Chains A and B, each alone.
Chain A
């Protein structure tokens, strides 16, 4: 990591290392973990990672350990304020309870987005999205 210290440009992630981060992936997954390292492609190494599912006023967590994430799959990376982290107005429930809700949320969201994309394409001249089908 010492060799990355010269990366003092505004676009670097060096200030995010060893901090608790929220990573959102293109498939819609939200991961909380400590950023341990990165490279020029923004591939990330996250330690102590927790995947969170949100549904209405509840959330659930699933512990996953160490992640090596390929940079092109990351939508955004945000620093978590450790002081405010525990003040969430949501109830935590076990992961197994939210799993089925999560899956139905995803399918209904995909359905709505497909209809939206079709209307935008036919009526407003927008291009259809590529085959990736982002879920975020």
Chain B
């Protein structure tokens, strides 16, 4: 799945964000957008040298300042499971509703072209 969709699926999960200047932010993802701007809560900020620390209840990080994000390994599997479950649910809902209507219509169109 796309990197940004992985990020969207990681809401409420803990992660580490390193900025271009080397500062790191450890916290839980609240929200993110298509520019990779993110908001985190319960954040532990570390300076680039690793010598100073701050605790922030919430913070907003502009996407353009991010170097990378580290996410827990379990996230990838959890997200894939969610995706397959959502797909199954969507497929079964569509199948039961539209299947009966779709069949006869498709058959009619085909016969028309053949003649």
Report A's interface with B, CB cutoff 8 A. Answer: 1, 25, 27, 36-39, 43-45, 47, 64-70, 73, 132
Contacts and interface: CB of A to CB of B under 8 A. Distances in A.
Majority secondary structure, A binding face: strand
Given A37-B1, A44-B3, A70-B63, A65 B71 contact: yes
Given A27-B22, A73-B20, A66 B3 contact: no
A70 B67 contact: yes
A67 B75 CA distance: 11
A73 B7 contact: no
B4 A73 contact: no
Contacts of B69: 67-68
Interface residues of B, number: 20
A77 to B, nearest CB: 14
Contact of A66 (B1, B20, B67, B70): B70
A39 to B, nearest CB: 5
Contact of A65 (B20, B63, B67, B70): B70
29 contacts: A25-B68, A36-B76, A37-B1, A37-B2, A37-B3, A37-B6, A38-B3, A39-B2, A39-B4, A43-B4, A43-B36, A44-B3, A45-B3, A45-B76, A64-B70, A65-B70, A66-B70, A66-B71, A66-B72, A68-B7, A68-B69, A68-B70, A68-B71, A69-B67, A69-B68, A70-B36, A70-B66, A70-B67, A132-B20
